[in-house]
Amino acid sequence: MDQFVCVRIVQANALDLSLFQFDYDLTFAAFFMNADKTIYGRFGTRSDTKDATRDISIEGFRKALVSALEWHKQYPANKDLFRDKRQAESKHKTPAEYPSLRGKFKATLNYDKNVARSCMHCHQIHNARQRLYRSQRKPVPDHIIYPWPLPTVVGLSLDPREMAKVRQVTKDSLAEQAGFRSGDEIQSINGQPILSIADVQWVLHTARDGNKLKAKVVRNGQEQSLDISLERGWRTKEDISWRTTSWDLRRMAAGGLHLIRLPDRDRRKAKLTGKEMALFVDHVGQYGEHAVAKRAGFRHDDIIVSFDGRTDLMSETELFAYVLKKRMAGEVVPVTLIRGGGRLKLKLRMQ
């Protein structure tokens, strides 16, 4: 670490969004950068609310640091390798330029009092992007609904103790179709050198349906070239319910309800099969816009079996995506639920 100039950013109030592009739902993210703002790579990955370190490790971080230093020694001869490590994602240069955040935060924190209230949290940036589409009454695109896809979406489980070593390949996945094998060490994707799982996520985050990702891996000491073809809707396999930004999605799409898939044992009690929609109301918001469902009559322990006529929304994520694409703020949808052994119909207003 003594070979790096370490800088810690503790708030997003005046963050340069043309430079600091990362998964804004993380509690920890690191950039390996040259002084001229060239990004060598990123580190920081998460896939669970409670287990924050499941996808990262000190061992993996150390190996990423070593690789970043090696690339730095070769700089600027290798500068072209890093040209796609950032992109202009939006016209908003800072978070404060988004309509839903404008005028709410100053550029610096108030350390005299109300420090927390004066701090713009990173996840609010992604919420602002979602709200922008909703305010314009436009369907929210997949790359906004499912940001920073994990490699598991294409069938790659990577070892967090390594930089980007394949631990397992999911059967019949896009990765298996591309020819990936357990033990493969990913060197680059689309010409971008990879030093962490977060680097793989960056490539997936900037990819679109129909893209073909060209990967180079080392297998048994030999370099192999593999192509991952991204089919339409490949992102939709991602679970976003763990994300902090999903709190605002619960307001928009579910009126403040927190929904979980009904466990199999409870399905049997409710006389439901594993193929039927059954979303258990685990929490009902109590205040403000998060209490819309409460005021509509929803209760804790309700089981939603139909939403706007759809009986195939098997997870909270699928329900979020349906609403963000198909229903606009102000529209009212019918909901059928099971309560006390009987069926009940309610109406829920979208936000």
Q: Is the dihedral of CA 128, 129, 134, 135 positive or negative?
A: positive
- H helices of the chain, in order, are 58-73, 115-118, 123-135, 142-145, 174-178, 197-206, 246-254, 264-269, 292-296, 316-326
Residue of 138, 149, 125, 147 lying closest to 324 (CA atoms): 138
How do residues 296-348 score in pLDDT, each as one tens digit? 999 999 999 999 999 999 999 999 999 999 999 999 999 999 999 999 999 99
- Model pLDDT, residue 273: 84
State mean pLDDT over 176-205. Answer: 98
Please state the domain extents for the chain. Answer: 246-349
Give residue 145's identity as a one-letter amino acid code: I
State mean pLDDT over 236-247. Answer: 95
**Among the ranges given (136-150, 192-206, 268-282), the one the predictor scored with the smallest mean pLDDT:** 268-282
CATH of 246-349, one of 2.30.42.10, 1.10.730.10, 3.40.50.2300, 2.30.30.170: 2.30.42.10
State mean pLDDT over 229-253. Answer: 96
With 0-12 / 13-18 / 19 or more C-beta atoms within 10 angstroms meaning exposed / middle / buried, residue 176 is: middle
d(CA 243, CA 54): 15
How do residues 71-123 score in pLDDT, each as one tens digit? 999 999 999 999 999 987 678 999 999 999 999 999 999 999 889 899 999 99
d(CA 148, CA 125): 14
